[in-house]
Each structure stands twice: as structure tokens, then as C-alpha cells.
A = this chain, B = another copy of it.
């Protein structure tokens, strides 16, 4: 089995309401010095029954394109892959 991690980030200039809400909430509970907060998604994926890491990466690439990221507003990157 292989474990791969995928980070999905909003594209630059796309509004991030969750991040904004945290910025505001921080002010409200008196945590100062926060300039900005951006919230992204981080997926941990375990791929089974594949012969090698390359094949696992292909599958995760397909999964990312089709399900994990909305490429209109988000970018994704596979940031780690290892045999487990």
C-alpha cells in the first residue's frame, strides 16, 4: 500500500470565507497580530493493490482532478508519497 498526501488550496484572489471568519473571531477573543488566515484542505490517501509508486501517484492524480479539487477555484499538489 502507498500513502499519498494531497494539499488543495484556493487559487490566489479567490475569496476564503472560512479564513475571514477565523480572522474576525481571533479579533473578538482578543488574539492580536493576526494579519491573515487561509484555510486549505489536506487529504491523506491510502492506495492499495498497485504494483508501484508511479501507479499509486497516477490514481491519486486522477482522484484529485475529479473529486478533491475544483480546478476552477482550487489548485492541488501531491506533496508526499511513500510505501507503507
Contact = CB atoms under 8 A, between A and B. Distances in A.
Given A31-B67, A34-B46, A34-B63, 20 more contacts: A22-B43, A25-B67, A29-B67, A31-B63, A31-B66, A32-B59, A33-B47, A33-B48, A33-B59, A34-B48, A35-B46, A36-B45, A37-B43, A37-B45, A38-B44, A39-B43, A40-B41, A40-B44, A41-B41, A41-B42
A7 interface: yes
Interface string A1-13: 1000001000000
Copies in the complex: 2
Interface of A: 1, 7, 19, 22, 25-26, 29, 31-50, 56, 59, 62-63, 66-68
